[in-house]
Structure 1
Amino acid sequence: MTDSVLIEQLAVEAIIGVFDWEREVHQRLLLDLEMAWANDRPAATDDLALALDYAAVCEAVTEWFHHHQPQLLETAAEAVAAELMQRFGIRWLAVTIRKPGVLPRAGSVGIRIERGQR
């Protein structure tokens, strides 16, 4: 299967980081999600129930950051990937997390992981 569902630049507020000041403030993160999903069935039937619910995915990610305060982007990416795969039955996904404004000469820093089987 080569179909994907994309959610790009999902903004979440999070307490994340290793420095003392980072543990006291919310920082804006931007997430890109690419999730393998068989889009042929919802396309053929025009049935929303067969499609991956974008809003529910966004809510699950936002909720995860509301309840967790990891130090590392790597930890957040692994946990978000596991949560989405388990909750929605996603077999493969790529998660990119960017932290804007951290370094003066860079627009953002971040990581990207892929988990599961395409």
Structure 2
Amino acid sequence: MRTSITITGLTTYGYHGLFEEERSLGQRFTFDISATLREVRTHRSDDLDCSVRYDAVVDEAVRIASSRKFQTLEALGETIAAGLLRRFALMETATVAVAKSSPPIAHTIERVGIQISLGRVDLEIEPDNTRMVTA
């Protein structure tokens, strides 16, 4: 049996963004987290060893988000996804969506955000330090 968990609407205050004002004044960030867990035969035993504590997932995501300032939502989301996979051995995949509702954009926007999905196999791949340059 394949099980997934979801945490929706986790809101924290953080100091992430491209501009210095964002990193000094801060703003609200909203996270949606989903994860698939290692396969089990059944959950009828009602055993927590076959799942993860949702409060622990929330605490770990908030801890990672507040551990440093990120310029991009992509780096923030990937760091949280990788951190969750490292912390919770039962997680096979982690998907993290990050949104901010006060982006420094001169138009009316409800929010901007990203979504990152990682599998346990992605932790074994060394990051490529090359950057793609676009016009």
TM-score of the aligned structures, taking structure 2 as reference length: 0.77
For the residue of structure 2 that corresponds to 1:44, the secondary structure is: coil
Cα RMSD over matched residues? Answer: 2.1
Which AA in structure 2 matches 1:88? F
Instruction: For residues 92-114 of structure 1, give each alpha carbon's deviation from its aligned partner in whole angstroms, at most 9, with x where no partner exists.
Output: 12111011132442211000111
| Alignment match, 2:100 | 99
| Alignment match, 2:67 | 67
Higher relative contact order (CA 8 A, sep 6+): 1
| Alignment match, 1:51 | 51
Deviation for aligned residue 1:3: 2.0
Deviation for aligned residue 1:48: 2.6
| Alignment match, 1:23 | 23
- Judged with a 3 Å threshold, the aligned counterparts in structure 2 of structure 1 residues 101 and 42 are, in CA distance, closer, same or farther, namely farther
Structure 1 regions of 5+ residues with no counterpart?
Answer: none
Does the 8 A contact of 2:36 with 2:94 survive in 1? Answer: yes
Does the 8 A contact of 2:6 with 2:35 survive in 1? Answer: yes
Structure 2 regions of 5+ residues with no counterpart?
Answer: 121-135
Q: Which is further off, 103-112 or 58-67? A: 103-112
Instruction: For residues 14-49 of structure 1, give each alpha carbon's deviation from its aligned partner in whole angstroms, at most 9, with x where no partner exists.
Output: 110111211212211111111002585672111234
Say which structure is richer in helix: 1
| Alignment match, 1:12 | 12
Q: Which is further off, 80-89 or 96-105? A: 96-105
Which AA in structure 2 matches 1:23? R
| Alignment match, 2:124 | none
Paired-residue identity, %: 29
For the residue of structure 2 that corresponds to 1:30, the secondary structure is: strand
Q: Which is further off, 102-111 or 60-69? A: 102-111
Instruction: For residues 23-79 of structure 1, give each alpha carbon's deviation from its aligned partner in whole angstroms, at most 9, with x where no partner exists.
Output: 212211111111002585672111234321100010001111221111110110111
